[in-house]
Each structure stands twice: as C-alpha cells, then as structure tokens.
Structure 1
Amino acid sequence: MFVSYILSKVRAYMRYRDTVRELSQLSDRELDDLGISRFQIDNIARQHAAA
C-alpha cells in the first residue's frame, strides 16, 4: 500500500514535469491559440497531474 502510494506520487510528479516542459516549449502565439497564458502553465500542469 505504501509503495503504491509513493509510485502514484512519483507518476503524478512526472506528469506535472512533462506538462510544464511541453507547454513551456510552445510559443506565445500557440499558447494563445489554446487559450493559455504563460503564467497559467504551472497551474494547468498541477491540475493535469492530479487528474
């Protein structure tokens, strides 16, 4: 049980990190097309990792 909890937290962090990296690589115009501002990337990544 404890191991599965730790693994789920590690996977969530990896999803967060990957999402931040991918969104950060987009241009401001591409982000605007998606309706995302650069300052929202961290929040969006946290929401994605929690899902």
Structure 2
Amino acid sequence: MAYTAHHGAVAPTSANRLSTLLNEFSARLQRYRKFRQTLGELNALNDAALTDLGLNRSMIRRVAYEAAYEH
C-alpha cells in the first residue's frame, strides 16, 4: 500500500493567515490613528470654531469615532 502526504498546502495557508492578520492589524492601526488625529484636531478648536461646525465639546469623541470607524 502506498502512502503519500501533501504538505504543500500547509505553508500557503499559514502564510495566508499571517498575511490576513497583518493586514487586519494594519487596518486597525490606521483607523485608530485617524481617530486620534481627528480627536486632537477637534479638541484644538475653540468653542466658536466648533459652533461654526455645528458641534459642541461633548460631541467631539463621537464625531472622531464616526470619522475613523464608521465608513
């Protein structure tokens, strides 16, 4: 009786998983950076500028979150 094993599929699958994990991590990091940047920029505005944009200080975190995480 002959026995053969196919090991070629293991490496690409592992590589694909690693690639997927790295891509997901990169995307999450980019979204977080966008959130932090937007948060910082909005916090730097004075109240008059925020009012001109139709915002108040209590809305800043939500607006930054929406800009980064809700496409």
Which of 15, 29, 34 aligns to 2:48? It is 29
Give secondary structure in 1 for the equivalent of 2:45.
Answer: coil
TM-score between the two structures when normalised by the length of structure 2: 0.70
User: Over alpha carbons, which structure has the higher Rg?
Assistant: 2
Query: More relative contact order in 1 or in 2 (CA 8 Å, sep 6+)?
Result: 1
Runs of 4+ in 1 over 4 A off after TM superposition: none
TM-superposed deviation, 1:49: 0.4
Task: Give the structure with the larger helix fraction.
Answer: 1
CA distance in 1, matches of 2:59, 2:27: 24
TM-score between the two structures when normalised by the length of structure 1: 0.96
> Which consecutive residues of structure 2, in runs of 5 or more, have no partner in the other structure?
1-19
CA RMSD of aligned residues (A): 0.5
